[in-house]
Amino acid sequence: MAYQVAVIPGDGTGPEVTREALKVLDAAAKAYGFAYDTVTYDLGGERFLRTGEVLPPSVLAELRTVSAIFLGAVGHPKVAPGVLERGLLLTLRFELQQYINLRPVKLYPGVECPIKGKEPKDIDFVVVRENNEGLYAGAGGVLRKGTPEEVATQLSVNTRAGVERCIRYAFEYTRRRGRKRTVKVEAGDLAAVSAGASGQTVEFTHRERGKMRARLLKRDEAGAELEATGILTMCGKTNVLTFEQDLWWRTFHEVGAADFPEVFRDYAHVDATCMWMVKNPEFFDVIVTNNMFGDIITDLGAMIQGGLGVAAGGNINPEGVSMFEPMGGSAPKYTGKNVINPLAAIGAAGMMLDTLGERRAAAAIDAAIAATTPKMQSMAAGKMGFSTTQIGDLVAEAVREGESRTRDEDEGRER
Ligand code: IPM
Ligand code: MN
């Protein structure tokens, strides 16, 4: 059956990057044998200025029935900030219960990294951002507005169910990613270790984090060195946000100890996370965090992976309709010039395929992006050495090439 993809090209450079993403999607569909139909919606600043509508209820009703949504960009210089962001982007995230915002931070080959000496092998992690609650929930209010005694509150809403589904998704994602990672636990943190020689799987209890399971590599007075199936870092602020973070902390360790003991549970405060992302990004595998912290650290993530031109994201409802978007905005300054970098949008299309279950096609798009970045002069708009359209062509071609190469290999042919 054909996938139904709703396309919202949106504002500014949104339509230009969307066009290239669809070009690559088309190449992937032909090479990997899946079918899809698109329906385009003219939501965004122009429509709002023309009709006053941001997201008509009839459109929302249609969007509830599609296989996935692709969104180019929202944000229009003539529309007050927040109208489209809240009325369209956040409303879709909430209404469709896209409770995960998945943001890979990956440095592709040949991409200039602002951190000295870091290579693609050092920057390759994923942020799982809670996408429906926290400070984004819109709870709070204002009293005595406009007076010197004005009070404004913005409440962070965290529900056990909301936190738990996000954390479960992050554990499952870490397990599926399946990176074998060596971790160290200091003797002082090692409360108990089950019997087992080096090379064997042992159960151990971390003083603060509870039970985990890993392969013992080495044990001495200093502590233990273990091989875990991935590292999941909870990024929080337990030392200050004592109510919400306590809920996150307990949920994280309860769920992990009960159902994902083989995933190593790491923790870092959000400020320290920023520091480590610059100092030792290679440590991270998967990070799980709340909505606001996730918003902030993923912009930092975008910078260390070479800029917003390459940063893709997915708003995911694992049981429903998900929406994929490049992280960069509408970039009004570059609109219509055919100079914007479409790789983030193309990457988002790849993530869409991964979520739809087209794993091979998704991996092929990722590989095609990696084959294209070394040819580019820069990831920045206007400095790529290619136009927007040419980058789309290069990636689409690499998808076709990749497919015929795998087919030749499968059939044992020389090329
Ligand atoms: C993002 C954006 C949005 C957010 C804005 C546009 C509402 O910054 O997707 O990260 O804050 O989530
Ligand atoms: Mn953001």
- Note whether 322 and 101 are within 8 A (CB): no
Mean pLDDT of all residues in 100-115: 98
Residue 409 pLDDT > 80? no
For residue 338, with 0-12 CB atoms within 10 Å meaning exposed, 13-18 middle and 19 or more buried, which class applies?
middle
Q: Which ligand 1 atom is at minimum distance from the Cα of 313?
A: 9
Cβ 85 under 6 angstroms from ligand 1? yes
143 alpha carbon to ligand 1 midpoint, in Å? Answer: 27
Q: What is the pTM of this model?
A: 0.96
CA distance 75 to 322: 20
Residue 294 pLDDT > 60? yes
Do the two domains 1-107+307-415 and 114-179+230-304 of this chain adopt the same fold?
yes
350 alpha carbon to ligand 2 midpoint, in Å? Answer: 20
Instruction: Dump pLDDT digits (tens) for 349-391.
Output: 999 999 999 999 999 999 999 999 999 999 999 999 999 999 9
* Rg of the Cα atoms in the chain: 22
- Rounded to 5 degrees, φ, ψ at 55 are -145, 90
278 alpha carbon to ligand 2 midpoint, in Å? Answer: 18
Q: Compute the residue count for the chain.
A: 415
CA distance 111 to 117: 12
Please tell me the residue having the least CA distance from ligand 1 atom 6: 85
Cβ 295 under 6 angstroms from ligand 1? yes
Per-domain boundaries in the chain = 1-107+307-415, 114-179+230-304
Mean pLDDT computed over every residue of the chain: 96
Please tell me the residue having the least CA distance from ligand 1 atom 10: 295
How many CB atoms are closer than 10 A to CB 284? 24
Pairing, β 264-269 against β 36-40: unpaired
Tell me the residues surrounding ligand 2 (ion) with CB < 5 Å.
295
pLDDT band at 411, cuts 50/70/90? confident
Residue 406 pLDDT > 90? no
CA 242-245-247 angle, to 5 degrees, is 105
Residue 114 pLDDT > 90? yes
Quick one: pLDDT at residue 156?
Answer: 98
Burial 169-205 (b: 16+ CB within 10 A, else e): bbbebbbebeeebebebeeeebeeeeeeeeeeebebb
Please tell me the residue having the least CA distance from ligand 1 atom 5: 85
82 alpha carbon to ligand 2 midpoint, in Å? Answer: 13
* Residues sharing a CB contact under 8 Å with residue 149, sequence separation 6 or more, in sequence order: none
Distance of CA 177 to the CA centre of its chain: 14
DSSP code per residue over 275-318: HHHHH-GGG-SEEEE-HHHHHHHHHHHHHHTT-TTT-EEEEE-T
Instruction: Dump pLDDT digits (tens) for 232-269.
Output: 999 999 999 999 999 999 999 999 999 999 999 999 99
Pairing, β 100-106 against β 312-316: antiparallel
CA distance 125 to 135: 25
> In the CATH hierarchy, which fold is given to the domain comprising 114-179+230-304?
Isopropylmalate Dehydrogenase (3.40.718)
Residue written as tokens 């290069």?
A: 394
Residue 162 pLDDT > 60? yes
Mean pLDDT of all residues in 318-327: 97
CA distance 169 to 128: 8
DSSP letter, residue 89 = I
Quick one: pLDDT at residue 342?
Answer: 98
Quick one: pLDDT at residue 197?
Answer: 84
CA distance 193 to 213: 9
CA distance 169 to 102: 10
Question: 172 in helix, strand or coil?
Answer: helix
CA distances to 68, 72, 218, 308, 345 from 37, in Å: 11, 17, 54, 28, 18
- With CA atoms as reference, report the closest residue to 68 among 324, 304, 309, 265: 324
Q: Which ligand 1 atom is at minimum distance from the Cα of 291?
A: 12
Instruction: Dump pLDDT digits (tens) for 24-62.
Output: 999 999 999 999 999 999 999 999 999 999 999 999 999
Q: Which ligand 1 atom is at minimum distance from the Cα of 74?
A: 6
CA 114-116-121 angle, to 5 degrees, is 90
- CATH code: domain 1-107+307-415 is 3.40.718.10
Q: Which ligand 1 atom is at minimum distance from the Cα of 131?
A: 12
